[in-house]
Amino acid sequence: MTQADTEPKVSLKSLEQFCRGVLAGCGADEATAAAAARAMMHGTRFGVDSHGVRLLGHYVEALVGGRINKTPKLHTIGGFGAAETLDADHAHGALATYTAMERAVAIARQLGVAAVAIRNSSHFGPAGAYALEAARQGLIGFAFCNSDSFVRLHGGASRFHGTNPIAVAVPVAGQDPWLLDMATSAVPFNRVLLYRSLGNPLPESVASDAQGVDTTDPNETEMLAPLGGEFGFKGAGLAGLAEILTAVVTGMRLSFEIAPMMGPDFTKPRQLGAFVLAILPEAFGDRAMFNDGMKRYLEALRNSPARSDATVMAPGDREWQIAADRETYGVQLDPATYRSFELLATRYGVPLPTAAINS
C-alpha cells in the first residue's frame, strides 16, 4: 500500500530528518535546510498542517527552479536605534525570519524593544514559528508577512490582499507561551489545498468562487474571504496593517504585485517582505510583575464559565495539546503529502520517515 491512510503515524524526529535530507539533496546549504525544516516542523508539530511538511515539495521546486537562493548571503543594510533592515538575498523565508528575530531579540535585550524589517525574502510558512522563538527566550514576539493576492476585500469580488498572517507569542513563567498565529483571511489558502487533498468540504463563509460568491467546495475556490464573515472589514483592515509593515515599510512588492506562490514561474525571486518585533517585558516594569499578571490573566481566562458544549482555551492551548500528542504518537500524513514524499525519497535517495514507536 502507498496511501498515507494505510500507513502508521510517523515520528516527528524522522520527519525533520527527512525534510533536511531532501532539502540538502536538492542543493540547499545547511542553514537553509535547517531553517526550512524547523519552520515546517513547527507547523506539523502544532497541528498547522497547511503550513507544515506538506510544503516540502513546493520548497524543493522553488529551490531547484531558482526562485529561492540555495546559498544566500544575508546582510544588514540599514538601521537606526532599535530598528534594522535585513536583506535576505532571496533566501528561504524561514532562514530570513529566524535570522531577523535573532537580531530583534538581541537588540531588545539592550534597548527594550526592537524591530527588524526584511527585504528580498520568500514564503516563510507558519508565522507563529518566529514569534514563538522570541517567547522561548523570555520576550514578546511579533511576526508579519504579506503574500500574493488571494483574499477579496470586504464586499469585494476580486483578489486583493494576500493571507497576510499576524503572529504574537508571550512568555508565561512555568508554562507554555501564549501563542496567537492567524491569517487575516478567514482561512489560509494552504488549508484549501489540504481540504482538496482530503476531499473535505470547507466551512461556510471562508471562500468564494470566481464571482466572489461564497462556496464550500475547495475545488471551486478562486479567492478567500477576509476574516470576520459579515464583519470582514476587520479582517481586511488587519491585512492592510500587515501589508504596510511588510511591503510598504520594507519597499517590497504589494500583494497584488507578487508572483503567484503556485507558479507557473519558479525561476524568478518573488521579493517578499516581512517584519518582526521583539519586546523585553522588564523594560516597562519588573519581570515578577509581568509574570504575575500573565498568571492571573490566564487563570481567570481558563476558569471562566464555558457553554455546555464548549471549552474555554487561551490562544495556543489547542496547539500545545496537539504538539504533546504528536511528540508521543507521531503524525498521520495526508495522501497527497505522502505521495510527494515517495517521489522526493526516490529522487534524492533519502529514506522515508519511520513509524512512531507509539503509533
Per residue in 20-53, pLDDT tens?
A: 999 999 999 999 999 999 999 999 999 999 899 9
**Do the bridges between strand 223-224 and strand 207-208 make them parallel or antiparallel, or are there none, so unpaired?**
antiparallel
User: What does the pLDDT read at residue 6?
Assistant: 59
Q: Where among 270, 295, 320 does a domain terminate?
A: 295
What pLDDT, on the 0 to 100 scale, is given for residue 295? Answer: 98
What share of the chain has pLDDT > 70, as a percent? 98
Do 276 and 118 meet the contact criterion of CB atoms below 8 Å apart?
Answer: yes
What local confidence, expressed as pLDDT, does residue 192 receive? 87
What's the chain's average pLDDT? 94
Specify the number of domains making up the chain. 2
Domain of residue 162 covers 71-185+226-295
pLDDT of residue 198: 86
271, 265, 19: which is closest to 122 by C-alpha? 271
Look at residue 359 in the predicted model and tell me its pLDDT.
Answer: 65
Beta bridge partner(s), residue 142: 168, 277
User: 106 and 159: one domain?
Assistant: yes
Q: What confidence score (pLDDT) does residue 196 get?
A: 87
Please identify every stretch of the chain with a pLDDT value under 70, giving residue numbers as ranges.
1-7, 359
Are 121 and 1 contained in the same domain? no
Same domain, 112 and 153: yes
CATH of the domain at 28: 1.10.1530.10
Sheet holding 83-87, edge to edge: 75-80, 83-87, 113-121, 272-279, 140-145, 166-172, 175-182
pLDDT of residue 3: 47
